[in-house]
A = this chain, B = another copy of it.
């Protein structure tokens, strides 16, 4: 058990995987914040005790809420592959410096992506940060396949 946690690359992986997962977890309270401040809900039970007219007004889509939700879904689509491929990549025994480079660039790209998405910054800030993270995961996947290929 302790073996894995004595490996420096695996420690680095654990740190960065936890950081990007925490970043993703923060999207949930952010969605809740926008839902409450914008008064935009989806479930009948969330607006119980209001008058019929108020209910109708509160059960609608709000562009800010939808934006945060798209950002959250994009996180799922990109961070989950990173976490899985990163684990296998860390087990292939790469150089620590090379592994750190991959992990740091990915974490930075996702933080930039969230700022660009939620802040609605002009393109190509969001597109570029998304592509950078995507390329990092693909590079790690290439290394995993080249080490383990066993069809």
Which listed residue (B2, B48, B93) contacts A2, Cβ 8 A? Answer: B93
Given contacts A2-B93, A7-B1, A12-B150, contact A141 B18 (CB under 8 A): yes
Count of chain copies: 3
Check B123–A15 contact: CB distance below 8 A: no
Residues 132-151 of chain A, each 1 if its beta carbon lies under 8 Å from chain B, else 0: 00100110010011011111
Considering only CB atoms and an 8 Å cut-off, how many residues of chain A contact the other chain?
Answer: 61
- Complex alpha-carbon distance, A69 and B39, angstroms: 22
Residues 92-136 of chain A, each 1 if its beta carbon lies under 8 Å from chain B, else 0: 110000000000000000000000000011110010001000100
Show the binding face of A for B, using Cβ within 8 Å. 1-5, 7-12, 14-15, 17-19, 21-22, 24-25, 27-28, 42-46, 48, 67, 70, 72-73, 76-78, 80-81, 83-85, 88, 91-93, 120-123, 126, 130, 134, 137-138, 141, 144-145, 147-151
